Amino acid sequence: MRAKTVDKIATGVIIGVAAFIVLLLAGLLGFILVRGLGHLSFDFLTSPPDSFREGGGIGPQLFNSLFLLVLTMIITIPLGIGAGIYMSEYAKANKLTDFIRLVVEVLSSFPSIVVGLFGLLMLVNYFGLGFSLMAGALALTVFNLPLMVRITEQGLKSVPREQKEAALALGLTKWKTISSIMLPIALPIILSGTILAAGRVFGEAAALLFTAGMSSPRLDFSEWNPLNPVSPLNPFRPAETLAVHIWKINSEGLAPDAPEIAAGASAVLVITVLLFNLLARWLGRFMHRKFTATK
């Protein structure tokens, strides 16, 4: 009887804690969305901000965030998948491999503000990139690379050993086995992790304060030459992202409707990150069902 009573109490405590966390998150999201959804409009999402007058939008900041996301993932995905393949299939179990894994774990736990300071010292100043999208993308690559490496490594290790051994027994080379057998099987895990990593990039602010900058030139969306300083596609221009814009508006905004702008921008940011997470879960389940059906 005593064991059953303790079990019921423990179960009740766990359910209560879980319910409290869910209610807390729901209340936080509800508060942000209720405050911000009323300010969303097409004009708000496309017009540039105004520092002193009412009616500014978040158009350039939203574009900068999306462009930075694409630029970061172009750098992160090949490096992360390549490093994950090496760690899973080529690296031998020795002290060097253990040290590399330790470094990856340490990097994954670094505060983003530390990554931003590293980017300021090395990328912005030492390598002369200045406050730019490229400096921000490289800093976020350092921030996100450990996640991609671990996801790829775990995805490859989840492949059944029998399938790997069968491919090698049929005479396939190691690389052919990895590229034709293992990666397609691990693809749902890798894709889901990639989308989650993209959500982290989109919502990041601290690292970008010191690398991408807190201002953005007035962009000419009719000019698509990436070498033009006012071109939206120029990766070496300063770029204030949406998350940085929210921080800036809340800390030093002078426009009369600064709280409303911050609330609307926060709602856009929260909705976008939620969509990234929901897409990752849906895509992972869809590809898992597809793989199970074909198997």
User: Is residue 283, in this structure, part of any structural domain at all?
Assistant: yes
- Given this model, what pLDDT does residue 78 score? 92
Query: What is the greatest pairwise CA distance in the chain?
Result: 77
DSSP class of residue 257?
T
Q: How sure is the predictor about 172, in pLDDT bands with cuts at 50, 70 and 90?
A: confident
Q: In angstroms, what CA-CA distances link 179 with 148, 183, 186?
A: 17, 5, 10
pLDDT, tens digit, for every residue of 109-149? 778 888 888 899 999 999 988 899 999 999 999 888 888 88
Task: Express as a percent the part of the chain with pLDDT over 70.
Answer: 96
**Do the domain assignments include residue 16?**
no
Is residue 228 included in any domain, yes or no? Answer: yes
Residue 46 lies in a domain: yes
| Predicted structure pTM score | 0.85
Domain range for residue 94?
A: 38-294
pLDDT category at 249 given cuts 50, 70, 90 is: confident
CATH code for the domain in which residue 216 is found: 1.10.3720.10
**pLDDT at residue 135 in the model:** 93
Nearest CA to 144 out of 238, 81, 62, 51 is that of: 81
Question: Is residue 77 assigned to a domain?
Answer: yes
* 27 lies in some domain: no
Residue 120 corresponds to which tokens in the numbers above?
């300021």
Domain total in the chain: 1
Residue 8 included in any domain: no
pLDDT (tens digit per residue) in 26-62 = 888 888 888 888 888 888 888 888 777 777 788 888 8
| Residue 1 within any structural domain of the chain | no
Residues 6+ apart with CB under 8 A from 262: 246, 249, 250, 253
Q: pLDDT, tens digit, for every residue of 183-240?
A: 888 888 888 888 878 888 888 888 898 998 888 777 777 777 787 777 888 899 898 8
CB 138 within 8 A of CB 123: yes
Return the exposure string of 26-65: e unless at least 16 CB atoms fall within 10 Å of the residue's CB, then b: eeeeeebbebbeebbeeebeeeebeeeeeebbbbbbbbbb
Length in residues, the chain: 295
* DSSP single-letter state for residue 82: H
Question: Measured between alpha carbons, how far is 254 from 55 in angstroms, rounded to an integer?
Answer: 12
